[in-house]
Structure 1
């Protein structure tokens, strides 16, 4: 009778080979002495139940250990730059063992003396960020005075731009669009070159054109310009100038939060 109860329970988890766990490892015990006493006073051939103590906390601890072993965290895609080109790492779907159903199944197996394979089931945990969800990415190649709009890793459109003069270089680094304004005012920055300048309202003479896409670098943004002849040159005080119509087009494509990489 003790050998009958001591048979291991078979568990299958995540395609692994069959796991065997003994009732003792699950904290279970059988009332063998009580069963023997009842058998002595029962008629020949009668079925005598073997009662089992199966403490749920012990079973839950075992299932928790299985979860730590077989759960797999999801991995979000990450946006990187390889040279001047965006690269998005692959994402991975995670999985999480459904612990409560497996615990109940183990409990029933011990109580009923069933030892057939019990299958642990998982729920998938989809990554939040994937290659398909990265969306728009802007890369500005300062040395070439080019702006390239990507959809993830796929180039969509290239623009000629003007970047900063040697004494006012456009900053290099990883940024994002933090503000978008239609028909912006121009306000003099706190720089020596602008100390005597006055604010300029929207209109034909506004140095920002008709659209402003400010990035997460102080006083730097992507904007239109009435000075079309400056496109293709290092001609600004640090901002990225575009033709007015092209700045208006880009303004409609990108969102606040769009990544902006500025490289040499």
Structure 2
């Protein structure tokens, strides 16, 4: 069983498998005017090559219009620049999407 914790201050996404650390990735988060929402959500949908600025994969959260996705602007990773979504390098989000199932819990702190 997997879970994800996104630390908006550290700008990291950490995957836990059966309660133990599994992987961590650098991310970009929402800017001050459009912050990434805090709370506990689940992954409700997934898309391959969703188009536009969303990079190679989309993992939609149970909060409508928010998700974890790739980016067509890799220089943004590590910064607070998005409209609230969590951006990842495309190679990292492809890896994440390959093993994270729907209904995975995502805690954003």
Query: TM-score interval w.r.t. the shorter chain?
Result: over 0.9
User: CA–CA distance in 2 between the matches of 1:145 and 1:233?
Assistant: 7
User: CA–CA distance in 2 between the matches of 1:235 and 1:152?
Assistant: 32
Alignment pair present for 1:237 and 2:83: yes
Look up the match of 2:24.
Answer: 158
Kindly state the Cα deviation for residue 253 of structure 1 after the two structures are TM-superposed: 1.1
| TM-score, normalised by the number of residues in structure 1 | 0.41
Please state which structure has a larger fraction of its residues in helix: 1
Look up the match of 1:145.
Answer: 11
User: CA–CA distance in 1 between the matches of 2:24 and 2:56?
Assistant: 20
User: CA–CA distance in 1 between the matches of 2:90 and 2:81?
Assistant: 16
Alignment pair present for 1:212 and 2:58: yes
1:224 to 40, 50, 70: 70
1:170 to 24, 36, 40: 36
- For the pair shown, the structure with the greater C-alpha radius of gyration is 1
User: CA–CA distance in 2 between the matches of 1:240 and 1:223?
Assistant: 6
Kindly state the Cα deviation for residue 221 of structure 1 after the two structures are TM-superposed: 0.2
Kindly state the Cα deviation for residue 210 of structure 1 after the two structures are TM-superposed: 1.3
Kindly state the Cα deviation for residue 153 of structure 1 after the two structures are TM-superposed: 1.4
Q: What secondary structure does 1:225 align onto?
A: coil
User: CA–CA distance in 1 between the matches of 2:71 and 2:49?
Assistant: 12
CA-to-aligned-CA distance 1:13-72 (integer Å, 9 cap, x gap): xxxxxxxxxxxxxxxxxxxxxxxxxxxxxxxxxxxxxxxxxxxxxxxxxxxxxxxxxxxx
User: Where do 1:19-30 residues align within 5 Å?
Assistant: none
What is the CA RMSD across the aligned residues, in angstroms?
0.7
Kindly state the Cα deviation for residue 152 of structure 1 after the two structures are TM-superposed: 2.4
Look up the match of 1:253.
Answer: 99
User: CA–CA distance in 2 between the matches of 1:179 and 1:163?
Assistant: 20
CA-to-aligned-CA distance 1:207-248 (integer Å, 9 cap, x gap): 000100000112000000011111111010000000001000
Number of positions where the alignment pairs a residue of Structure 1 with one of Structure 2: 109
Look up the match of 2:108.
Answer: 262
Structure 2: segments with no counterpart, 5+ residues:
none
Alignment pair present for 1:179 and 2:25: no
Which has the bigger relative contact order, CA under 8 A and spacing at least 6? 2
Q: What secondary structure does 1:214 align onto?
A: strand
| TM-score, normalised by the number of residues in structure 2 | 0.97
